């Protein structure tokens, strides 16, 4: 059975202000790189910014159940790689 990796890029206000706009390239890049092994989508606030609420760890991306804090394209790709293993 193929396991799929599920990536959710937070596009809520806090994450957006903290840079998740840059992460939107993942939404194009990931399907090109991984085809249908990885699902990627933009989602509204994941609820994480209100927990960690000095906002210092935004933007957040979820890769399966793991939270990538202060997410960058590189960090998210690394997380995807580790989930594909």
Q: CB nearer to ligand FES: give 14 or 26.
A: 14
Minimum distance of ligand FES from residue 73's CB (angstroms):
17
Q: How far apart are CA 27 and CA 42, in angstroms?
A: 8
Beta strands at 38-43 and 5-10: parallel, antiparallel or unpaired = parallel
Q: CB nearer to ligand FES: give 33 or 69.
A: 69
Q: CB nearer to ligand FES: give 18 or 80.
A: 18
Footprint of ligand FES (CB under 6 A): 10, 12-15, 45-49, 58, 60
> What does 64-77 look like in DSSP terms, one character per residue?
TTEEESS--HHHHH
Minimum distance of ligand FES from residue 1's CB (angstroms):
31
Minimum distance of ligand FES from residue 67's CB (angstroms):
9
Q: How far apart are CA 43 and CA 30, in angstroms?
A: 16
Taking each helix axis from N to C terminus, what angle separates 73-84 and 25-34, rounded to the nearest 10 degrees? Answer: 30
């Amino acid at each position: 059975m193929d396991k799929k990796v599920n990536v959710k890029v937070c596009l809520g206000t806090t994450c957006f202000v903290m840079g998740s706009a840059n992460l939107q390239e993942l939404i194009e890049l990931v399907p090109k790189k991984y085809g249908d092994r990885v699902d990627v989508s933009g989602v509204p606030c994941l609820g994480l910014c209100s927990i960690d609420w000095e906002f210092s760890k935004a933007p957040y991306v979820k890769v399966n159940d793991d939270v990538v804090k202060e997410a960058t394209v590189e960090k998210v790709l690394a997380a995807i790689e580790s989930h594909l293993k």
